[in-house]
Structure 1
Amino acid sequence: MYGFTLNGTINSWNDFGLHFTKILVIPDTQRVIDINEIDVRGGSLTMFKGWENLSFSFKVAISDKAQWVNVLPQIVNAEMITQSNEICGQCTYQ
């Protein structure tokens, strides 16, 4: 299946022997918008404040179970996870 990259530098398969067990589907997130009524101008001011936090889960397979202790903190603390379109070289599926 497909691997992923953490923070643009760590390749899940090459560095950890880790890959998704199925294609990851990330749900859409919502913009944070603050609308303030302005009495003096008789209108409103719309301020875009960013995006809602997003949580999702995924299943992965790892080639060396003992390495999971090192891998988990890297995933949890990653600022960016990018799904790769590359198929892992040694992954085999039925």
Structure 2
Amino acid sequence: MSSVRLTDGRVLHIPGAPFVLDSHSVIMAPADNALAELVPLIPADDLLLFAGRLVTGARKRRREPKYAEVNAARLKLARLCIDHALAEWSAVQVATDA
């Protein structure tokens, strides 16, 4: 399980507990828009660390069919975290260059 403490004090767990399973025992992933709303709440210092944990979690369970949806969600969330970190880094670079 990958987790990070959000700026509002909540903890984000991927996949969340208790797991929600469909009729084929596949772990259901959170909705994409729900994940995108949480990315700005992740502290900037933790974005890349959390993205790394998400990728590692997906890699470890890549051959387990019940994790297929969760792995896709982990990788999408990792991409959102990396994009957010790059946007913040670019803003800092522009501010220091000015």
- TM range, smaller chain: under 0.3
Give the alignment's TM-score, normalised by structure 2.
Answer: 0.27
Higher strand share: 1
Report 1 or 2 for greater relative contact order, CA contacts < 8 Å, sequence distance ≥ 6: 1
Larger radius of gyration: 1
Higher helix share: 2
